Structure 1
């Protein structure tokens, strides 16, 4: 379906996991601005609305005014100081979210020039689970996968065997 390279491998896993739990033509509120994954989701039959770049730590108006049953958040929560209010206040009853996992052999990603492209968190799977549970979500399914790098060295070798991404499907009443 998609070539086996980044980001296409990630997109393939994301779409496959989403379709396992949420069938098209469902409406999705996708956190974050429109990105290359959105047209692929639309091609699969989903209707996707994105947030518009507002700071979701400070401005939850889009979340509070949206009535979508499904909230998607693909590598967005690590960019927020506190995703807890958003996760608690959304009207959505289904969540499909992915986060980069903290790698013990590599420092957290930080950009010194781009104010939006910073990781305040790189979660361990149990930390992300606890965040969702505290916000009232029940995790129904999980997936982890590696992100190998085609380089030589200890870190690239470790990336071939250490999961980098964590995705969950969660529900709440």
Structure 2
């Protein structure tokens, strides 16, 4: 059913999570260039501005200079060498972050053609929780879900019931 409005299952889950926990009056800074998910967020009435694709490990100007009260990062933190520094420079009272979880039956993703499309981190849920708490936030909501693929094999079978994504909402303490 979600396919009619949302191109991916995780987009539907993410939008539902945002609708449950945020207001359309919030001002959101979404890490990463404008993308299909941030476009959907805007279509759902959220006030979203994106960063410009800068290397956030080296340049956190957007975090410091923009006005926002919510920071979103959907499948971004696994690409950063130092997500701690990004969170410490964040001005938001609330953050919503989703990451792919580390799976025991699958290695970290590494594109052979795009140097930016590699996972430096594949989090376990407790690791993301610890990072968030260490940066001065308290987690107030969590969601995990599986990601099925239409392939045959042991790994696709395991993906049917093993949570692949983890999303949190946290508020500044």
Same fold per TM (> 0.5)?
A: yes
Q: Is the 8 A contact 2:27 2:67 kept in 1?
A: no
Q: Does 1:53 align with 2:53?
A: yes
SS of the residue corresponding to residue 161 of structure 1 reads: coil
Counterpart-to-counterpart distance in 2, 1:7 and 1:161: 21
The TM-score with structure 1 as length reference comes to 0.95
Deviation at 1:143, TM superposition (A): 0.2
Segments of 5+ residues of structure 1 without an aligned counterpart are none
Superposed, which structure 2 residues align to 1:1-173 within 5 Å? 2-3=2-3, 7-173=7-173
When structure 1 is superposed on structure 2, of 21-30 and 56-65 the one drifting more is: 21-30
Deviation at 1:7, TM superposition (A): 4.9
Q: How many residues align?
A: 173
Counterpart-to-counterpart distance in 2, 1:2 and 1:40: 13
Counterpart-to-counterpart distance in 2, 1:7 and 1:75: 16
Report Cα offsets for 1:124-166 as digits up to 9, x if no partner: 0000001111111100010000001111111111000100000
Give the 4+ runs in structure 1 shifted more than 4 A: none
| Superposition CA RMSD, Å | 1.6
SS of the residue corresponding to residue 72 of structure 2 reads: strand
Segments of 5+ residues of structure 2 without an aligned counterpart are none
